[in-house]
Amino acid sequence: MKKRRLVVATGNAHKLLEISQIFTDFEVVSQKEMGFDEEVAETGTTFAENALIKARAASKALDCIALADDSGLCVEALDGAPGIFSARYSGSHGSDKANRDKLLQELSGIKNRRAYFNSAIALVYPDGKYLLAEGRTYGEILEEEQGEGGFGYDCIFKSEDLGKSFGLATAEEKNAVSHRYRALQEMLKKWRACEE
């Protein structure tokens, strides 16, 4: 049986891989693979708004159902920063290492290192209807990097669920407790209920 195609509005290979490891019943393809390579301005003020902006753009351009994720790290002692600016925290398009270094510098000497990853998932139909889902995973920011797995802030985020950094976790371990996994599971439930 042929798998149903799911177009993901992202240029981030790590996110695409993580989504494909969770949405195993679908043929997960990027918007670029489908011929839409436009950079969409993320002008929203929340993760959900930005996910919706990206999914709407891909759905409209490709006339298909499109899914988008917007996610980031929220640190309690920094009033939720880096938040929606997580990917570009150290500059307009800062590297993962530069983003981690900036965050660790800002938390230097701060005892409260509680944080969570937030993921908002938007699924948009060609007729404009949409579904939204969100997920979180809680933990704390470590004082130094641990592990080389994952991407972004993974090696400085110690997961409450795993008791270790996402950088030390296998893909299977991380995917079982991640913010994106939780949001995608919620989206699958909503999508299935909507299509019954």
Tokens of 107: 């938390």
Q: Could you give the residue numbers annotated as active site?
A: 70
Distances, alpha carbon 192 to alpha carbons 47, 133, 189, in Å: 23, 13, 5
Residues facing residue 27 across a β-bridge? 5
